[in-house]
Homo-oligomer: A and B are copies of this chain.
Amino acid sequence: MAPQLQNFYQTVDSLAEPFIDRLRKAVAIPSISAEEERRPDVIKMGHWLKEQLEGLGAHMEARELGPQPHKEHLTLPPAIIGRYPAQKDPSKRTILVYGHYDVQPANLSDGWATEPFELSVDDKGRMYGRGSTDDKGPVLGWLNVIESHKKAGIEFPVNLLMCFEGMEEYGSEGLDDFIIAECKPGKFFEDADAVCISDNYWLGTEKPCLTYGLRGCSYYSIEISGPGQDLHSGVFGGTAQEPMTDLVRVLGSLVDTDGNIQIEGIKELVAPLTKEEESLYTNIAFNMDNLYESLGSKTGIFPDKERTLMGRWRYPSLSLHGVEGAFSAPGAKTVIPAKVTGKFSIRTVPNMEPEDVDKLVYAHVDKVFKSLKSKNKINCYLQHAGKWWVASPKHWNFTAAAKAVEDVWHTKPDLTREGGSIPVTLTFEQATGKNVLLLPMGSSTDAAHSINEKLDRRNYIEGIKLLGAYLHYVAEEPMEG
């Protein structure tokens, strides 16, 4: 039986201005996790959030995460965790939601059209401000859902567990261990039945989506060294083997212009494309102009949207990021660098096991370097690896969300993956053993991490309705599956 949500929706509409005002107050706290001097603002933001939720009747805790690794003089902002209603109702499902209350750096002088820490709403309802879409809007979405239920006198449909962190834009320092610990028996998150994360974006601007996959990332360095120190190319050019000559040849062997990875065995690790999966891409609300607009050029690899989406979501890619140790400034310098380190990463997909990828990378680099017959030394190593994540979109967590989208937006959501990583997703999946859903609020034009970040008023208000509807549909889903 479909839940009756008209009363809830009307209440959200009637509270739109207070909800925008709540976002304005949140944006005004410059909770920049990457800037040391803003750390007090990040902590202030965490406590503001806790107080707001306590005001709504939630049970809240601020959990200290200790000193910041490698910057021991800094205290990590607390994980703000909570439960609503404060007392668990064992007859209802329990949904764990995650968001972050820290933001990227922002200065007016970077090119913002308005003060980044003053929410500025234009006549088209675009609400500009740092953190508006990433991730204060979505986090406040959950608060507004609670408040709307209280004001409308509607019984809350689930037990809500909350986990809000303040270091997401700086590598989520300290969070993984905390999540793993709190998901264990007897701990705060132990009874989560599913997880919902609202910290990504629609593929375009018109159609909502549910995200069920992320690529992983294995990041490598290739270090080549020879001379004892940097050399003058006039004196040594033509007499010494140069590490940079070797490096560009090794880097040039990894991938071609059209993105085909040249490392033997990589393609064989990729899960084959099934007919069923292939058919999914055709209906996704995306076109090549969307790509060209975001690229700022027409230098795409594929001429069609299907292969472009598969290139982003379900196939691996290899990007060369740069070279450390060589001359990188403007102008001309006649140096022969003594030691150069090339950096590249591979975006991984099912069924690529990171360890298998490592082995193939090392074997390839070794083979190419040996073919150069160089006297220089090479060292290829992994800097870090994060695994890909794919959830089942047939799980009740997703079917509930899809029904909520239809009810609020009157359209079926696209089922999408993302090319990048959100490492906390995999952590929640592994720590809870439960299904994780990515349920975005903002759209592709929101410019998270850029100047003039914004959240559309429509996406905020309808997004609040969507988060609430999702919880009601979750409550209605059959218990099996």
Give A contacts to B, CB under 8 Å: 215, 217, 219, 226-229, 231-242, 244-246, 248-249, 251-252, 255-259, 291, 294-302, 308, 311-312, 315-324, 326-338, 343, 345, 347, 372-376, 383-384, 418-421
Contact = CB atoms under 8 A, between A and B. Distances in A.
B296 A227 contact: yes
14 contacts: A217-B233, A219-B334, A227-B296, A233-B317, A234-B421, A238-B347, A245-B319, A246-B257, A248-B248, A257-B372, A299-B374, A319-B336, A321-B337, A324-B327
Given A234-B418, A299-B375, A322-B328, 20 more contacts: A226-B297, A233-B317, A235-B312, A237-B419, A238-B301, A238-B311, A238-B312, A238-B347, A239-B308, A239-B312, A240-B301, A244-B322, A246-B257, A248-B248, A248-B320, A298-B375, A321-B334, A323-B323, A324-B327, A332-B343
Contacts of A323: 322-323, 326, 328
A373 to B, nearest CB: 6
A373 B258 CA distance: 9
A66 to B, nearest CB: 23
A252 B247 CA distance: 8
Contact of A374 (B257, B308, B328): B257
A400 to B, nearest CB: 28
B231 A295 contact: yes
Given A296-B228, A321-B233, A245 B239 contact: no
Tally of this chain's copies? 2
Most chain B Cβ neighbours within 10 Å, of A229, A240, A332, A373: A240
B420 A232 contact: yes
Nearest to A255: B245
A255 B374 CA distance: 13
A239 B332 contact: no
A257 to B, nearest CB: 5
A320 B258 CA distance: 25
Contacts of A301: 238-241
Nearest to A308: B239
Contacts of A291: 239
B319 A334 contact: yes
Nearest to A215: B234
Given A236-B295, A328-B322, A241 B228 contact: no
A243 to B, nearest CB: 8
A252 B255 contact: no
Contacts of A333: 321-322, 343
Given A226-B299, A328-B328, A374-B257, A217 B234 contact: yes
Q: Which 6 pairs across A and B sit closest by C-beta, in order of nearness?
A: A228-B296, A234-B420, A238-B317, A322-B326, A322-B327, A237-B317
Contact of A383 (B298, B326, B332): B332
Contacts of A420: 232, 234-235
Contacts of A308: 239
